[in-house]
A and B are shown apart, each in its own frame.
Chain A
C-alpha cells in the first residue's frame, strides 16, 4: 500500500471539489473493494476522501411514488428494507445473492455500483492489464477466460462487472444522482453509468473527475413478479457465471437484465419485446453479436436456459 493522505468530507460539494482538486484522489465509503485493491497496489490513490459522514443513509419516498436510496445505505439495510422487499423484490434478492453477510454490512449502495472487476489478471500485478495499466495489454485474452465477458468486450479488455445489485438496478431503471465539484447535481440513468471497455477499459463509468454519487432513485413501482437467479459453481459467496434479473408481468411482458456476461449490466430493451415468445427468442436478441471464447461459450446457452427457468417460475 502506498502512503496516502486522508480527509473526512463534511459536504458533498466539499468532497467533490476536494477530489477534483487532486490528480489521484478516491472517495472511500465501505472500502470493501478499494482497500483490498490498495493493499495489492492495484489502486494507488494518493488521497482518500471519507464520505461516510455525509449522511446519505436513508431510504425515502419520492414525490412520484418511487424510492430514493442514499448512496451510503449499506447493502444489508437496503436488502432488509420492508418497502424494497415488498415493491422491489428483485433488488433485495440480488443483494442477498452477493458477497457475504459481513461484506454486505459494510458495503454501500454507491460503492457496490462502482466495484471493480474480479478478473484474475487484473488482480495479478505481474500481468499486463489495460484496466490497471492502460496500454500494457490484456493478459486475459488468450488466457483462462471461463469467467469473462461474452458480449460487448473489446480487444483491450474482456472483464465483466461483478455486481449483482447493479443488475437489479438496471432492470428497475434506476437513476443515479451525483454531486459535482461546481456544486451542480445531475441525474444519470443507470443504463448510462457503466461503459463498455472499448479502447479505454480503465474508464469504467461516465462519472467525471470528482463527481460523487449521492443517491440512487428507483422509479415508481412496476409490479410484476421479481426474480433474481444467480448461477454459480458453489452455493454461496461466488461471483455469477451468469445471473438473470427479471420483472415479469402477468401478460408475459417484462424486463430482463443479465449479469456475468459483460463489462456492464447487460440489458437490451429490444430483446424484451420477445418475452412473450419465450427465452430462446429473448436470448437470441439479447446476445446478438456475442463473441465468446471456447471456455466461456457455455454462458450463451446458460443465459437462455436460466431465462427459460425464470420465465417458467414466473408463470408459477
Chain B
C-alpha cells in the first residue's frame, strides 16, 4: 500500500481497540518466565555448547602471537575460534569495526577469540588460558584533543555536515542579546538488562540464530555478508528482547561468534556476552562537544541561531548528529549548523535512544534557558515567542502537526510552574535547595517501509506475522490492537508472531519509528485481507463492516471465520510512503518539567517530581506509551546526573565497564512521574495517524534537570553528567 495522500477516515478511527490503555498481551509470559529469550531455547538445542568471548587487552595495535595450547587442553574444551582459523569473514553493512579482531586490533575488548566448551564454567576457565601477545600502537582517545583536527564528515541525503540559511555571522554579531556557550556530553552506554546473546545451530550450510536483535532484516543480511552465506541460508529468530535502546540494532559479536563456534564445534553453541565486555566491545552513544550561539532582539525574537557539534568515531564511523533539532525547533532567519568528526580509537560510536536529538537537546535546551534569563523572559515565554509552524529552513514547508507551545502551557499549568521562583538559589526546604526546570522535547518522526502477513482461520482467529520486534516497548500489543480493530475481532482472537526472518520485513525497532510504521504495515495487510474476505463471502458492496466477529453489509451478516471455512485466508502487504514527509515536516513535540532538590551541604541532587507533556500523533495505547515515556524520562535522569563512560585517555578504554561502575538510576532515584498526551492525530504520518513517542520521552529531560539545578543553586553546569563535584565549590555555605 502506497501512502501518498493524507489519511482520511478509515477503520482505525473507530477506536474500539486502538487508543485504549491495554496491558501487554505477552505480559503474562514475561512475568511467569515463559517468554523465551535468546539464551533460553533449551528445547531447540539441548546439546548446545557454551562460548565465552576473549576481548582484546589493548585498544589499538596488532596481535603479535596467540598461544592456544593451554586453553585447548583445558577440561571440556571443544573448539577455539580466532580470526586466524575462522576462515574468510566479511564485514556487515552496519558494522564499523570487525566483530572478530586480529591480527589488527581496532578497539579495546574487540573480540579476538571465542572459546567453546561443554559448560559455561569450562569455557570461562579456558578463556583465561588463551595467551595473547600484543604489539600496541599509539591511538587517539581524547575528543577534546582531537577537536581541532576533526574533519567534515560526508553528508547523507538531507543531512549535510554544514547547513546555512541567511547570514548567521552578521546577524549574530549585531544581535543585541547574545549567548555563545559550549556544552559537553559524555560517552554513554545502553546498559540494557539482557546482554547481547545468541544461540547458533547449523544444518549443512543453513544457519539458524536465536538472538536478541532489534532489526531482523538488517542483521540477517549482515550475518550473511559476514559469514559469506546466501541470505536465504540465514534464519534469525528474536521474539523477545530484554532491552536494546539501539545497542541491538546491529549484528554484534555474540551472533557471529556463536555461528563460528557452532561451525567449529559441529553442534549448537550459545554465547552471552559477559557484562564487563559489553561496554567496550559493543557500540555506545558518542561524547560530544557542542558550541551554541544564539542572537536575539530585545523583543525576545531569535535572529541568529548556530549549533556546532564535534564527536569522534573509528575510521568509517559516523558523527553523532547532535545539531538535528536546531535546524527545526525554533524560528530565526539566520542559521547555521555544523558537524565535525574526529578519528578516535575508542570503541564504535553509534545509535542510542534518540541519536542526534538526545545529546543535542541536552545542550540546546540549556542554551535556551540561559538565553531566556539574559532576555529577562520566562523560559516558556521565550520558547513561545520563537515558535514556528513551518520548517525554518524552508518556510513553504509546514509542520504536519506542531503543538510545542500547547505542551509547554498545559504542562506549566499542571506542574505549577507559576510557583517557580525565577531568581535562582532562593527556594529552601530544610537542607534542600529546591528548583524547577523546563525544556522542550523534540524528536523527528521517521517513515520506513514496513510489511506484515495476516492470516484468518475458520474460527475467526487472526494471526499476524511480521519481523517487527518487541524490545520491551509493547509492539505485540499495538499490533494486536491494530489487527483487532481492522478485522472487527476482540483482542483475544488475535495472535501476533514477531521477530522471525521468515516473516515479512518490517520497519523494525529503532528511532521511535517502530510503532507507527509496523502498525501501518499491519493495517495495509489487513486492508488486503478484508478484500479477500469480502470476495470469499460474496460481498460486492463497498460498504462492509467488520465488527464483533461478523462481516456485514446491508441486512446480511456472516461470521468472519466463515471466509476461511474452506481453508485459511492469507494476505501480505507493506506500507510504503510517498512524498508527504517531503512536503510536510513530521516531528514530535513535548515539554519536560522537573522539580529537584540539591543538598546544601553535599550538593547531592535528588529529583522530586517530573512531568512530560507529549504531542506525538495518535497514541495507539496510552498504557504502553506511558511506559515508554516514563522509561525515557528515567534514562534522561541518568544522562543528567550520573551516566558517563569514563575514558582512560592513556590506554583508550571505558574504565567503568560494568553495572557497578556505570551507574544508571535505580528506584530510589526516580520520584513520581506524570505524563500527559495531547489529543492529536496526524493524517500526514500514516493511516494510523500516529507517530513515535519512545524517544521523544528522553529528548530534553536532562536539560530540564540542568535548568532546575541552576534554578535551585544559581550554578550553571554545561558539562554532563552534573555530578556533585561540579557544584561543590560554588555552593553556598551550608
Q: Which residue numbers of A lie inside 8 Å of B, CB to CB? A: 1-3, 39-41, 118, 120-121, 123-124, 126-127, 139, 142-144, 146, 229, 231-239, 241, 298, 301-302, 305-306, 308-309, 312
Contacts and interface: CB of A to CB of B under 8 A. Distances in A.
Nearest to A307: B601
B725 A1 contact: no
B276 interface: yes
B728 A308 contact: no
Interface in B575-602: 599-602
Contact of A241 (B125, B651, B724): B724
B725 A146 contact: yes
Given A143-B648, A144-B656, A305-B601, A41 B724 contact: no
Given A144-B656, A146-B646, A233 B128 contact: no
Contact of B641 (A1, A231, A233, A306): A233
B542 interface: no
Contacts of B121: 1
Contacts of A40: 276
Contacts of A229: 602
Contacts of A123: 276, 658, 661
Contacts of A233: 604, 641-642, 663, 721, 723-724
A255 to B, nearest CB: 20
Given A298-B728, A308-B734, A309-B734, 20 more contacts: A40-B276, A120-B657, A123-B658, A143-B651, A144-B655, A144-B656, A231-B604, A234-B665, A235-B606, A235-B666, A236-B668, A238-B663, A239-B660, A241-B724, A298-B724, A302-B724, A305-B601, A306-B601, A309-B431, A309-B599
Nearest to A237: B666
A130 to B, nearest CB: 17
Given A234-B665, A234-B668, A309 B602 contact: yes
Interface in B585-644: 599-602, 604, 606, 641-642
Interface residues of B, number: 42
A172 B129 CA distance: 46
B650 A143 contact: yes
Contacts of B43: none
Given A306-B601, A308-B601, A144 B663 contact: no
Q: From B601, B721, B725, B729, name the one whose CB has the most chain A CB atoms within 10 angstroms.
A: B601
For the complex of A and B, the 7 pairs showing the least CB-CB separation, nearest first, are: A309-B601, A235-B668, A126-B57, A298-B725, A236-B668, A144-B646, A144-B655
Given A121-B655, A231-B724, A302 B602 contact: yes
Contacts of B544: none
A231 B731 CA distance: 16
Contact of B648 (A39, A144, A232, A234): A144
Contacts of A301: 728-729
B125 A1 contact: yes
A89 to B, nearest CB: 20
A35 to B, nearest CB: 12
Contacts of A312: 734
A139 B665 contact: no
A142 B655 CA distance: 13
Nearest to A298: B725
Q: Is the interface of A mostly helix, strand, loop or mixed?
A: loop
Nearest to A100: B666
B184 to A, nearest CB: 16
A234 B651 contact: no
Given A142-B650, A305-B734, A3 B125 contact: yes
B656 A120 contact: yes
B47 to A, nearest CB: 23
A123 B57 CA distance: 13
A236 B660 CA distance: 12
Contacts of A1: 121, 124-125
Contacts of B646: 144, 146
A146 B646 CA distance: 10
Contacts of A126: 57-58
B139 to A, nearest CB: 15
A85 to B, nearest CB: 21
B669 interface: yes
A142 B651 CA distance: 11
Contacts of B599: 309
Contact of B660 (A118, A121, A232, A241): A118
Given A118-B660, A302-B724, A234 B641 contact: yes
B632 to A, nearest CB: 18
User: Residue among A124, A142, A232, A312 with the most chain B CB within 10 A?
Assistant: A124
Given A302-B728, A309-B431, A235 B656 contact: no
Contacts of A127: 651
A170 B153 CA distance: 57
B647 interface: yes
Contacts of B731: 305
Contacts of B604: 231-233
Contact of A234 (B124, B642, B650, B729): B642
Q: Which of A233, A302, A309 neighbours the largest number of chain B CB atoms within 10 Å of its CB?
A: A233
A144 B187 CA distance: 14
A309 B604 CA distance: 13
